[in-house]
């Protein structure tokens, strides 16, 4: 997938694209199964119209600029989102830098600059409740009016329901499930286990002292973590090696009375090696239990042993 991060580099500043595009627009946080359904429609329409496919997304969630006090935590950082969009079979991704100036741009100006001038759109596919532009004034009816004038079709797609058919799949719903620790249902809506990425840093080495060495993974504050607790999951090293893991996420109440933030520690099963300073990917498969405070290290170590065996069993 070709990634364009500078709108000045769009083809019309040189030559028009050899083929027009079918375009979709959105934050695409998580690239969940609902998003994937829209992307499949984009690919199908592009095949029918003999077009290339393109997605327009943003370098940050627009809410962090227009309403930072209530902006959501992210399901995916930009790098992971681009990987997922590429895996969905898109030809091109335009990453729009979203700042104060962009937030004040009218919906009409955005369409002309990005959809028409940059991508020479033949068709636009978005969710039926899609909004964009200054004060969210852009929507499907506005796109349809502009499409009739500027020569592109518009398809508003209803949100896909989950496998029970009861509720639409949305990033908001996935976030709520993760906040409740329900990583299994969240995985069904994402189409994969929730994954966080960070760097292994030195901790207090207490896990090694207790007989369960862990990788302490430092994470971005912008990324959404599941509820505190103990999880079974997977740890991936930079070279692609994947290890089963028992994962502790929380404030370690046995040792700290008022820790400021949750800490992610992964104990890799049947692994003995150095992990410091490496990039880590941690995936949450099953929540084993909530976080607890123990009266002694002995009680904690006994429970850690049970947690490791439970993780080994569910991941086998």
Residues 6+ positions from 49 with CB-CB distance below 8 Å: 20, 22, 122, 123
- Pair 212, 303 in one domain: yes
Do 94 and 54 meet the contact criterion of CB atoms below 8 Å apart?
yes
Q: For residue 179, tell me if it sits in a domain.
A: no
Judgement on whether residues 146 and 209 belong to the same structural domain of the protein: no
Separation of alpha carbons 192 and 55, rounded Å? 21
- Residues 139 and 231 placed together within one structural domain of the fold: no
Based on the domain organization, do 129 and 255 belong to the same domain?
A: no
Please measure the distance between the N-terminal and C-terminal CA atoms of the chain and give it in whole angstroms. 35
CA gap 311, 233 in Å, rounded? 8
Does residue 172 lie within any of the structural domains?
Answer: no
What is the chain's mean pLDDT, rounded? 91
Average pLDDT, 10 consecutive residues per value, the chain (316 residues): 83 57 97 96 96 96 94 96 97 95 96 94 95 94 97 91 75 96 97 97 68 90 96 97 96 65 92 93 97 82 93 96
Q: Look at strands 153-157 and 194-201 and give their pairing.
A: unpaired
Domain contains 184: no
Where does a domain end: 107, 135, 157? 157
6 and 150 housed in the same domain: yes
Residue 202 included in any domain: yes
The pTM score is 0.91
Q: How many CB atoms lie within 10 A of CB 150?
A: 12
Indicate if 122 and 253 belong to the same structural domain: no
Given 130, 157, 184, the domain boundary residue is 157
Residue 284 shares a structural domain with residue 217 = yes
| Dist CA 207 CA 216 (whole Å) | 10
> Considering the domain boundaries, does residue 273 fall inside one?
yes
**What is the span of the domain harbouring residue 212?**
193-315
pLDDT for the residue 25 = 97
Pair type for strands 121-127 and 2-4:
unpaired
Structure confidence at residue 14 (pLDDT):
41
Q: In the listed set 133, 157, 181, which residue is the last one of a domain according to the structure?
A: 157
Q: Which residues contact 277 (CB under 8 A, 6 or more apart)?
A: 199, 200, 201
Length of the chain, please? 316
Task: For residues 26 and 152, state if they share a domain.
Answer: yes
Q: Say if 174 falls within a structural domain.
A: no
Could you tell me if residue 92 is inside a domain? yes
Within a domain: 297 = yes
d(CA 173, CA 159): 12
The H-assigned helical ranges of 121-224 are 140-150, 171-179, 183-190, 206-209
Whether residue 95 is found in the same domain as residue 142:
yes
Could you tell me which of 50, 30, 28, 44 has the C-alpha nearest to residue 155? 44
Q: How many domains does the chain have?
A: 2
Q: Which CATH number do you get for residue 60?
A: 3.40.50.620
What confidence score (pLDDT) does residue 159 get?
79
Domain CATH for 203: 2.40.30.30
In this structure, the answer to whether residues 209 and 120 fall within a common structural domain is: no
Do 123 and 204 belong together in one domain?
no
Alpha carbon separation from 94 to 27, 41, 57, 87, 112 (Å, rounded) = 12, 18, 6, 16, 14
Q: Are 11 and 138 in contact (CB under 8 A)?
A: no
Same domain, 95 and 219: no
């Amino acid at each position: 997938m070709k990634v364009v991060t500078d709108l000045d580099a769009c083809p019309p500043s040189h030559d028009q694209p050899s083929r027009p595009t079918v375009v979709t627009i959105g934050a695409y946080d998580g690239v969940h199964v609902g998003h994937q359904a829209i992307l499949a429609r984009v690919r199908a329409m592009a095949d029918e119209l003999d077009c290339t496919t393109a997605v327009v997304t943003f370098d940050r969630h627009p809410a962090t600029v227009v309403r930072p006090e209530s902006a959501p935590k992210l399901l995916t950082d930009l790098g992971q989102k681009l990987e997922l969009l590429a895996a969905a079979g898109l030809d091109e991704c335009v990453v729009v830098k979203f700042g104060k100036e962009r937030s004040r741009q009218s919906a009409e100006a955005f369409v002309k600059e990005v959809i028409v001038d940059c991508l020479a759109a033949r068709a636009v596919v978005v969710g039926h409740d899609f909004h964009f532009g200054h004060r969210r004034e852009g929507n499907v009816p506005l796109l349809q009016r502009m499409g009739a004038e500027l020569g592109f079709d518009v398809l508003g797609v209803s949100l896909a329901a989950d496998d029970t058919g009861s509720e639409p799949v949305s990033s908001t719903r996935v976030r709520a499930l993760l906040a409740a620790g329900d990583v299994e249902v969240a995985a069904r809506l994402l189409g994969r286990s929730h994954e966080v990425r960070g760097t292994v840093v030195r901790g207090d080495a207490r896990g090694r002292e207790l007989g369960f060495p862990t990788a302490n993974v430092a994470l971005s504050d912008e990324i959404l973590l599941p509820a505190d607790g103990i999880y079974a999951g997977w740890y991936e090293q930079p070279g692609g090696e994947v290890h089963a893991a028992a994962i502790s996420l929380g404030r370690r109440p046995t040792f700290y009375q008022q820790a400021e933030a949750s800490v992610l520690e992964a104990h890799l099963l049947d692994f003995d090696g150095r992990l410091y300073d490496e990039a880590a990917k941690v995936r949450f498969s099953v929540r084993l239990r909530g976080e607890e405070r123990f009266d002694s290290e002995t009680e904690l170590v006994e429970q850690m042993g049970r947690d490791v065996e439970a993780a080994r069993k569910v991941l086998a």
